[in-house]
Amino acid sequence: MVIDDSRAIRMILRKTLENLGYEVLEAGNGKEALAVMDREPAVSLMLVDWNMPEMNGLEFVKCLRSRPGCSQVTLMMVTTETEIEQMITALEAGANEYVMKPFTEEIITDKLRLLGIVA
């Protein structure tokens, strides 16, 4: 699932994941993503923006990690937040990886390879 309030970023990340063979769901913020998870609980990978309305990415990560059965979902923050403190905060909250915008398809693929998700 791609969670970002920017339609353009969602489209770019969707294309990247589809090129890797994923079926992709989308949400415009954390609240929408939780609603999607209620309907589609088999989601195994989420690329999450930090800065979104209603429920930001950090709030979403914390909320998802507190839900039973969601500890195995792989979460990658894909954000404009570039301070090391934000990266540490996101990882401590339960994100598995952190990518700073702007990014390339190769960067996303390399991070997913590091997570053992793509060969």
Domain count, the chain: 1
93 pLDDT more than 90: yes
Q: Is residue 86 in some structural domain?
A: no
53 pLDDT more than 90: yes
Give the mean model confidence (pLDDT) for residues 45-55.
Answer: 97
At residue 41, the pLDDT reads: 84
Q: Is residue 65 in some structural domain?
A: yes
Give the DSSP letter string of the chain. Answer: -EE-S-HHHHHHHHHHHHHTT----EESSHHHHHHHHHH-TT--EEEE-S--SSS-HHHHHHHHHHSTT-TTSEEEEEES---HHHHHHHHHHT-SEEEESS--HHHHHHHHHHTTS--
Q: Is residue 12 in some structural domain?
A: yes
Q: Is residue 14 in some structural domain?
A: yes
pLDDT averaged over the chain? 95
Domain of residue 73, CATH code: 3.40.50.2300
Q: Is residue 62 in some structural domain?
A: yes
At residue 119, the pLDDT reads: 73
69 pLDDT more than 90: no
Give the mean model confidence (pLDDT) for residues 52-58.
Answer: 96
Q: Is residue 70 in some structural domain?
A: yes
Nearest Cα to Cα of residue 3 among 50, 65, 71, 73: 50
Q: Which residue has the tokens 């937040």?
A: 81
At residue 12, the pLDDT reads: 97
Bond from prior residue into 53 cis (ω within 30 degrees of 0):
no
Give the mean model confidence (pLDDT) for residues 28-34.
Answer: 97
Q: Is residue 16 in some structural domain?
A: yes
Range of the domain at 33: 2-39+51-80+92-103
Q: Is residue 113 in some structural domain?
A: no
Rounded Cα distance, 91 and 13, in Å:
21
